[in-house]
Amino acid sequence: MKLVYLSLLAMLVFGCGESESRAKPVDVAINGDFIQSETSQPVSIIPLPASVKKLEGEFFVNAQTVIVAEEGALSVAEYIQSQFGPATGYRFPIVSSNNVDNAITLLLDDAFSEEAYRLIVTANGVQISASTRAGLFWGVQSLRQLFSQDIELNAPVNKRVWPIAAVDIEDQPAFSYRGMHLDVSRTFFPVDFIKQYIDLLAMHKLNYFHWHLTDDQGWRIEIKKYPRLTEIGAWRDETVVGHTYDRDGLYDGQKLGGFYTQAEIRGIVAYAQQRQVTIIPEVDVPGHASAILKAYPEYGCVSKEFSVQANFGVFPEVLCPTEKTFAFLEDVFSEVIALFPSPYIHVGGDEVKTVQWQNCASCNAIMAEKGLKDYLALQGYFISRVEAAINKMGRKIIGWDEILEGNVAPSATITSWRGIEGAIHAAKAGHDAIMAPGSHLYFDHYQSRSVEEPLAIHGLTPIRETYSFEVIPEVLQNTDAAKRILGAQGHLWTEYVRSQAKAEYMILPRMSALAEVVWTDTSKRSWEDFSKRLPYLMERFSAKGLNVAKSAYVVNAQISYTAKGFKVDLSSDMPEVNIFYTLDGSLPNAQSQQYLEPLLLPKGGTLRARAQSKLTGEMFLERRLTLQSHKGIGAKITLNAEVDRAWNTDPEVSLVDGILARDQIFQLDDWATFPGEAVEAILEFPEMTEISLFNLGFNAGRFRHFYAPTAIELWSSNDGQNWKALASARAADINMESVSATLHVKPTSMRYLKVKVENHAKRFSTEDSKMIPVTLYIDEMIVQ
């Protein structure tokens, strides 16, 4: 029945998320009775629809609201009941007549493209039109965000009516492939969490779930013909504590594992299908095979005792390219395909070490027989055999971009993770490709430089970095090859994600940024607009009880060094915040000094800063800077050393910039990285300079424990040719538990300072099963 809207509407926000005060209650007439209701939420939808138009009035969902749906839309109608029923307490009966007021009407209309929809809300009701169930379902997700955040609660809320703003939304996705990945090999997650993960994909209009089911640390899918895969391969005896490559090799001593039964997988697949999500299972071959070989060592190339790995990394364990291995894999994939209706099966193909193939007589015989020129070609042969078997079963393969190094068929789709180059190459060669570069779409990275961020793998990917990603690279713009880029995918690898709460923290809200990247046309996207809508969605996550990260609010800092000292510019990527800071070591609060203009710190010091919401008063995560003025800042450095420039592109600057990284690490290029046994650096001062102290940083604080140098030597010179020894420290003099080492010298004037740092330490490599040299990470060279 018709509802009468009797009050002025609070200002709506269409795609801009402007801040506003909380709306005042209004009176609503229902069946002749007046009741008080809140006004509707601002229109703040993520991902941003293609078109949003404001209409007059509101629609008030109440106990008499029904769902109108024809037979082809019944599954979507049932989803509405399950999604909106718990919080409202309403039944939402499903009826077939479409001539009904006070209804949510689902209308199938062939005029729309496959995933497009139109959502119209008036004072009389809601109508969602689309040509497919997928389109209707995405329309429901937009409708969901028109409700207040309370709709996400799983218990009745004391409201008689639920207002939603009157709008006309026309929408369709920019890309057909919109994906999220989850690694359950490193950390096994229960069925309920997998369903929750799928719910989050659906909420964001993401339609592919890449389920990484096997790896060195555990096999997670029941294969009835090979029960040892889960009886043995699904369990590891312990797990490394901290980072695999840290100085101290610590383990938790706890057996860890688990797997999904085929019955559980069928249930998860059905659950995903109702939510328009296609699950792509990954069985990673031929590398990352430790768990397989622990269960069935006969499919390896070497005779040894295999282990389900307790460490993380890239291991030499690889499947042998023999006929019995291919028969085994055909059996495995036949059971996998029977469980997953996806048109794609992901076969991995990444990070394959070939050392075991090189020492395998049968492998070399196969290479000679097939005319394979090298071991990359042998990897290509392996993948092509697997691909042929999967194609014979009516499916296509997806593989990581390494499979391009072999001779894979054009029907193979490429997941480009080592940057965007793999996708570019694939598209030009006639392959479909999915963008998945670690730089923007790996959500196991740190998401801010706050000292409060939990442990993560190396790498820094803030949400704004994710939002900036362009799926179609410039080099492919306006070319036929651009059509081969199907979309993009975010990833959550779980080496350092050991709980469901941590998983939620790592993906939310970066998943939201990804969703807009792949759904919304690039011409309509802007960070300024997205950042205004994001807080409303984050409130929705909180209402659902999810552990959403507030890292987007962390204070940014731009630092420059001048003759007067350090100039520090602070800012936030988020709107409607104030920034407070301290210089005395205390934690900032609302009574601390407010940041209003750039700071000048003549000698440096410790700067602590936090942003505070102007709307709620919430204080967000702390950003901390440790700055040290010293005589070496700006000195010209000449390095005579092997430098790992894959991690540190400009060590000549970072070693003497006055910005200390030794108490924290977010990405490895904060540090100068040296894989060799010795580092020699010559600092050239602009004039004769007297020094009495040298300090070298080498430890990254609470989450990372790097190796200390085995020796440090200092030499002085006035001409850069003749050198005089100043001081030295040997391993026994260097405190491994400290973050740095200090050498005191008799005050000496010089133009040149030579620093020799030795690195003769070795560690046992679980990947190579032998002792190898350690990598030396160096922070600031402080000269006083």
Q: Which residues are catalytic?
A: 215, 288, 351
Through-space distance between the first and last CA atoms of the chain, rounded to whole angstroms: 81
Q: 10 Å Cβ neighbour count for 683?
A: 23
Maximum distance among all Cα pairs of the chain, rounded to whole angstroms: 99
Q: Which helix (H) or strand (E) is 292 found in, with range?
A: helix 290-295
- Measured CA to CA, the distance from residue 434 to residue 398 in angstroms comes to 9
Q: Which residues pair with 567 in a beta bridge?
A: 560, 600
- Measured CA to CA, the distance from residue 672 to residue 781 in angstroms comes to 11
Residue 295 CA to chain centroid, in angstroms?
31
Smallest CA-to-CA distance from 181 within 497, 610, 425, 424 is with 497
Smallest CA-to-CA distance from 72 within 119, 116, 108 is with 108
Smallest CA-to-CA distance from 272 within 180, 368, 361 is with 180
Sheet of strand 556-562, all strands in order from the earlier edge strand to the far edge: 556-562, 565-571, 599-601
- Measured CA to CA, the distance from residue 210 to residue 346 in angstroms comes to 8
100's tokens: 């009904």
Dihedral in degrees, nearest 10, Cα atoms 561, 562, 565, 571? -50
292's tokens: 């397989």
Q: Which residues pair with 559 in a beta bridge?
A: 568
Q: Which helix (H) or strand (E) is 716 found in, with range?
A: strand 711-717
Smallest CA-to-CA distance from 729 within 701, 758, 700 is with 758
Judge contact between 743 and 729, C-beta under 8 A.
Answer: yes
Judge contact between 331 and 225, C-beta under 8 A.
Answer: yes
E strands within 583-631?
A: 593-594, 599-601, 604-613, 623-628
**Start-end of H helices in 371-522:** 375-392, 421-428, 438-441, 463-467, 500-507, 510-519
Sheet of strand 577-582, all strands in order from the earlier edge strand to the far edge: 593-594, 577-582, 604-613, 623-628
φ, ψ of residue 768 to 5 degrees: the values are: -105, -5
770's tokens: 């032998």
- Measured CA to CA, the distance from residue 774 to residue 70 in angstroms comes to 66
* Cα atoms in the Cβ-side hemisphere of radius 13 Å centred on 199: 15
DSSP conformation class of 522: G
Smallest CA-to-CA distance from 161 within 14, 21, 31 is with 31
Residues 6+ apart with CB under 8 A from 637: 651, 652, 655, 656, 681, 682, 683, 684
Judge contact between 299 and 324, C-beta under 8 A.
Answer: yes
Specify the residue for token string 């005319």: 371
φ, ψ of residue 82 to 5 degrees: the values are: -75, -30
Environment class of 395 (CB within 10 Å of its CB; exposed 0-12, middle 13-18, buried 19+): buried
Distances (CA, A) of 402 to 212, 350, 379, 381, 444: 17, 5, 9, 13, 21
Q: Which helix (H) or strand (E) is 733 found in, with range?
A: none
Residues 6+ apart with CB under 8 A from 361: none
Fill in the amino acid letter for 587: L
φ, ψ of residue 266 to 5 degrees: the values are: -60, -40
